[in-house]
Amino acid sequence: MIWTQHDHQCILNTLAHLLLDREYTLLIGRHLQPIVLDLLERNAEIIKADGRISHDLHERLCVALSKLLEVSPDALSFVLRYFRDAPPVFQRLFLTTAESAAIQYGRKRMKLQDLMGATLRFLRSDCARFRDLWDWSVCMSLLRTTDVLVLWFVHIIISLDLLIY
């Protein structure tokens, strides 16, 4: 059987979709490293389609990107390019209750733990660049959370942010 161009595109689109699943991100990143950049570009196009951001897919991509920093040499340059015109990982913290209610999340919505863990991985990869990229003030509200892991992430994020000044 000879695969058509359509078959190739379907396979790449499926892999791009699977890359956003936290269970498969590192597996795909390690074993399909030559095509990771292509898969990331496909996801970025879908996320920013029609000039609107899909918050659910954006959060999934952010978590995936933060994990790929460890295994993909192309990840950091892609991340910096992506975030030039994309909201921060923790964008949901800026949303009002009404705005948040209007967002449709997939069946496996990213937890705040995932988002803050991703944020920390970004800062650890290049603290100076990411510190200047986003407004961190919204993270202060998380200091009142009862989620111990989120609280731990936030304390480290704030300390990293303050050490740079």
Helices (H) and strands (E) in the chain, counts: 9, 0
Nearest to 18 by CA among 3, 32, 34: 32
**How far apart are alpha carbons 89 and 83 in whole angstroms?**
9
pTM score over 0.75? yes
* Sign of the four-CA dihedral 31, 41, 50, 85: positive
Per the structure, the count of domains in the chain is 1
pLDDT for 53: 85
pLDDT for res 165: 46
Question: Per residue of the chain (165 residues), what is the pLDDT tens digit?
Answer: 688 999 999 999 999 999 999 899 999 999 999 999 999 999 999 998 878 888 899 999 999 999 999 999 889 999 999 999 999 999 888 876 666 666 666 677 788 999 999 999 999 998 888 888 888 888 888 999 999 999 999 999 988 866 554
The parent domain of residue 149 ranges over: 5-164
